[in-house]
A = this chain, B = another copy of it.
Amino acid sequence: MRTITIKPQALTHNLNQVKKRAPTAKILAMVKANAYGHGVKAVLPALQQADGIGVATLIEALEARDLGWNKMIGLIEGVFNQAEWQQAIDNDLSCVIHHYPQLEWALDNVPAIANQARQVWLKYNTGMNRLGFNEQTILDAAQRLHDAGYRMILTTHFANADDVDHPLNTIQKQRFADMLARLRDTVSQDVQGSLCNSAGLVNFPDSHYDWVRPGIMLYGSSPIKNTSANELNLQPAMDFSAQIMALQTIKVGDAIGYGSHWIAQQETRTALVSIGYGDGYPRILDKNAYVSVIDESSKQSYPCPVRGRVAMDMIVIDISSTPTTLALNSKVILWGSVPHVDEVANHAGTIGYELLCRLSTRPVRTQTSSLE
């Protein structure tokens, strides 16, 4: 069975790592993109100790409310029109305001009570050059929001927080600190600040301010270039597995799979695994990509290289390293503890975030009990 298993205990462990690193900040746990592919429903119970959650779309926000999340929901792209702004008020969502149209919707329609929707995340562009007001416009925006009765969290986003030495980090931190000080001086002492995503909160402990916004580290992947999740004491929250569906021996000279690119240089024991890009396993992999095969009789795990092209519904692996008694239907780990999703992503020329998000609906979803 193609299976995605979520581990609530790992999520809670990772959230506690955030708390350890940022003990004075509130935590907005990012659960956008269906909790980075893990499933919002599966992760929310394990993230109860977060102070709020962050989502990208109104639909995601309403789903979280439906699931009973009563604390803050931050809508990180804000709303797209006046009607959505009303829905944000009705569902007490705390919206990002990143440009003038959103500002006007907010000023035209101020929530009647001082709830979460009266607290907005005012986005400042410090160098990412995606969303946000600039140095010339943000003071005006902040003043008008304050005058209309809004509380504010000044927020920005790092472009290179994963690379601690990148020169833009210092510039972004300085711009943010300067603007927060100006807003507190000229608009309101109560303006809060939020600068750090996962990478920022690990790399820049001096910049946690009022809210940190961890995402990928909650799911047990490393947000930092050249540093593993293990080194950061993070545990993968997902186990992605399948099964061996056939065992074969390939003769010298035989090619495997589409394109016939991989050709056996020696007689090779191979196995077919019931997984493919139709499940979300990446199609493009370098020659060092591998999976772990579990031999049930010995409970041993064996690394097995992927051979030939990944197809929609199956892959071929080299099982030379496994016992010759390896059984049909043996469990195959695509990612989990070993290999870690960050490692698979490295072989796929991308980052773990993408692999997690681009899982399809085909694998069966389950979770470990809280005791495991």
Complex: chain B residue closest to A274, CB-CB: B77
State A34–B278 Cα separation when bound (angstroms): 8
Are B361 and A34 within 8 A (Cβ)? yes
Q: Which of A76, A256, A277, A284 has the most CB of B within 10 A?
A: A277
State A128–B166 Cα separation when bound (angstroms): 48
Q: Return the CB mask of A345-372 against B: 1 if under 8 Å, else 0.
A: 0000111011001111110100000000
| 11 A-B residue pairs with CB within 8 Å | A32-B312, A33-B313, A60-B362, A129-B257, A131-B314, A159-B259, A277-B354, A283-B354, A284-B349, A358-B359, A361-B361
What is the minimal beta-carbon distance from A259 to any residue of chain B, in angstroms?
A: 6
Q: Which residues of B contact A59 (CB under 8 A)?
A: 362, 364
Q: Which residues of B contact A362 (CB under 8 A)?
A: 33-34, 57, 59-60
Q: Which residues of B contact A166 (CB under 8 A)?
A: 260
Given known contacts A312-B32, A360-B33, A2 and B129 CB-to-CB distance under 8 angstroms: no
Q: Which residues of B contact A358 (CB under 8 A)?
A: 277, 280, 358-360
Q: Which residues of B contact A160 (CB under 8 A)?
A: 258-260
Q: Which of A80-95 contact B (CB under 8 A)?
A: 80-81
Interface band, chain A = 35 or more
What is the minimal beta-carbon distance from A202 to any residue of chain B, in angstroms?
A: 16
Given known contacts A159-B257, A272-B130, A329-B80, A351 and B314 CB-to-CB distance under 8 angstroms: no
Stretch of A64-72, A184-192, A240-248 contacting B (4+ beta carbons < 8 Å): A240-248
State A328–B258 Cα separation when bound (angstroms): 44
Q: Which of A225-283 contact B (CB under 8 A)?
A: 243, 245-248, 250, 254-260, 272, 274, 276-280, 283
State A101–B328 Cα separation when bound (angstroms): 9
Whether, in the assembled complex, A168 has its beta carbon less than 8 Å from a beta carbon of chain B, the answer is yes
4 A-B pairs with the lowest CB-CB distances in the bound complex, closest first: A33-B278, A56-B313, A358-B358, A283-B354
Given known contacts A80-B274, A81-B329, A274-B77, A129 and B248 CB-to-CB distance under 8 angstroms: yes
Whether, in the assembled complex, A214 has its beta carbon less than 8 Å from a beta carbon of chain B, the answer is no
Q: Return the CB mask of A8-40 against B: 1 if under 8 Å, else 0.
A: 000000000000000000000000111011000
Whether, in the assembled complex, A316 has its beta carbon less than 8 Å from a beta carbon of chain B, the answer is yes
Whether, in the assembled complex, A336 has its beta carbon less than 8 Å from a beta carbon of chain B, the answer is no
Are A278 and B32 within 8 A (Cβ)? yes
